[in-house]
Chain A
Amino acid sequence: MWRAAIVLLGTLTCASALAEQVRVGEGVYRPLYRNEPDQPVAAFLLDETPVTNEEFLQFVAAVPRWKRSTASKLFVDDHYLAHWAGDLELGTNAQPDHPVTHVSWFAARAYAKWKGARLPTLAEWEWAASASETSAETRGDTNFLRRILNWYSKPASTGTQPVRSTYKNLWGAWDMHGSVWEWVEDFNSSLVTGESRADSSLERPMFCGSGAAGAADVEDYAAFMRFALRSSLTARSATSSLGFRCARDLPRDPPEDSL
Chain B
Amino acid sequence: MNISKSYSPRLARIALGLFAAAALSTSASGATLPVEEAVLTHAPNVPPPITRRTPAKVVINLEVRELVGKLADGVEYTFWTFGSTVPGPFIRVREGDHVEFHLHNFPDNKLPHNIDLHAVTGPGGGAAASFTAPGHTSTFNFKPINPGLYVYHCATAPVGMHVANGMYGLILVEPEHGLPPVDREFYVMQSEFYTEGAYGEPGLQTFSMNKALDERPDYVVFNGSVGALAGDNSIHAKTGETVRLYVGNGGPNLVSSFHVIGEIFDKVYIEGGDRVNANIQTTLVPAGGSAIVEFKCEAPGTLVLVDHSIFRAFNKGALGMLKVEGEPNTEIFSGKTMDSVYQPEGRSIPHDAPRPPREEGKAKTLAQQKADGEAVYKQTCFACHQATGQGIPSVFPPLAKADYFNEDPDRAVAYVIFGREGPLTVNGAQYNQVMTPQNITDEQIADVITYVLNTWGNKGGRMTVERVREIREGGPAPFGAGIGAH
Contacts and interface: CB of A to CB of B under 8 A. Distances in A.
Interface of A: 77, 79, 82, 142, 145-146, 149-150, 152-157, 181, 199-200, 203-204, 206-209, 211-212, 219, 221, 224-225, 227-229, 231-234, 237-242
Interface residues of B, number: 36
B159 A240 contact: no
Nearest to A221: B158
Interface string B171-199: 00000000000000000000000001000
A207 B124 contact: yes
User: Which of A154, A157, A209 counts the most B-chain CB atoms under 10 A from its CB?
Assistant: A157
B438 interface: no
A155 B157 contact: no
B3 interface: no
Contact of B107 (A79, A152, A153): A79
Interface of B: 66-68, 77-78, 107-112, 114, 116, 123-124, 127-128, 131-136, 155-159, 161, 196, 204, 206-207, 209-210, 213
Contacts, number: 118
Contacts of A233: 112, 133
Contact of A228 (B77, B157, B207, B210): B157
Name the residue among A154, A199, A208, A240 with the largest chain B CB count within 10 angstroms. Answer: A208
Contacts of B209: 145-146, 149, 219, 221
Contacts of B158: 211-212, 221, 224-225, 228
A94 to B, nearest CB: 14
B440 to A, nearest CB: 47
22 contacts: A77-B135, A82-B107, A152-B111, A155-B78, A155-B109, A156-B108, A156-B134, A157-B67, A181-B110, A203-B128, A204-B128, A206-B157, A207-B131, A228-B112, A229-B110, A229-B112, A232-B112, A232-B133, A233-B133, A239-B133, A240-B107, A241-B134
Contacts of A154: 78
Given A153-B207, A208-B155, A225 B111 contact: yes
User: Would you list the 6 A-B pairs with minimal beta carbon distance, nearest first?
Assistant: A232-B112, A211-B157, A232-B133, A153-B206, A239-B134, A224-B158
B174 to A, nearest CB: 26
A157 B136 CA distance: 16
B132 A232 contact: yes
Nearest to A242: B134
A153 B80 CA distance: 9
A240 to B, nearest CB: 5
Given A150-B206, A228-B156, 9 more contacts: A142-B210, A152-B110, A155-B110, A207-B128, A207-B131, A221-B161, A224-B158, A228-B111, A231-B131
A224 B114 CA distance: 15
B127 A157 contact: no
Contacts of A156: 66, 108-110, 134
Nearest to B114: A207
Contacts of A208: 116, 124, 127, 155, 159
Contact of B123 (A77, A200, A224): A200
Contact of A79 (B67, B78, B135, B207): B135
Contacts of B210: 142
